[in-house]
Amino acid sequence: MRGEVGLYKLNQRVALTPAQARRCYNFRAMPDLTAVIADDLGQYCKRVSLDICKLVDTLSEDDFWRRPYPYGNSVGHLLLHLTGNLNYYIGAQIAGTGYVRNRPLEFSDSSRPPKDQVVKNFLEAVAMVQNTLAKQSEADLVSAYSAQGLEDAGDRFTAFLRCAAHLSHHTGQIIYLCKQLQQARS
């Protein structure tokens, strides 16, 4: 019968109306998966960015730009890099912001902009990612994507996912650097 959901009870099919099936199975309608993915990725990026801000808040301006290892980066340079990454791969390539990236400068900038400005720019990049994610339809997320450095991404969803993974990777480095800087002060 049309509009019925079947339930088998001891190999005997019992017809249920959709309302009965929802009560029986505590059924909830499947949420819009695109919206769930966009919201979860956006919330993840926001949570990680706030974790980074807590770590950075404990650093002096000097420690923010200090390179504890001659071969490594400072926390400040890592934040410049994360900001550039998000602004280029999501901002310029998906949101159409017009951002022009200078990746080498992200690691070598000797001007040492104020920590507060670097953090503000980073948080603005994360907010832009969240806003861009929220505007993506299912068709947008699976649309073709390619950019220098992400030539093999294939689609926008993969670009968003890789940017979130990249954010996570460098968050681990920032945690480690902050611990090393704290030990050096002790």
Question: Residue 70 is part of a domain; what is its CATH number?
Answer: 1.20.120.450
* % pLDDT > 90, the chain: 75
- Residue 43 shares a structural domain with residue 84: yes
Same domain, 78 and 159: yes
Rounded to whole angstroms, the Cα distance separating 40 from 75 reads: 26
Residues 146 and 81 in one domain: yes
pTM score, whole prediction: 0.83
Asked which of 20-24, 42-46, 128-132 is least confident by mean pLDDT, the reply is: 20-24
Taking a C-beta distance cutoff of 8 angstroms, is the pair 156, 142 a contact? yes
Question: How many domains is the chain built from?
Answer: 2
Q: Is the pLDDT of residue 33 over 80?
A: yes
9 — pLDDT class (breaks 50, 70, 90) = very low
CB atoms within 10 A of CB 48: 18
**Whose structure tokens read 């730009």?**
65
My answer on whether 15 and 94 are in the same domain is: no
**Residue whose pair of structure tokens reads 């791969």 in the numeric block:** 89
Q: With 60 as the cut, is the pLDDT of residue 3 above it? A: no
The domain in which residue 21 lies consists of: 1-30
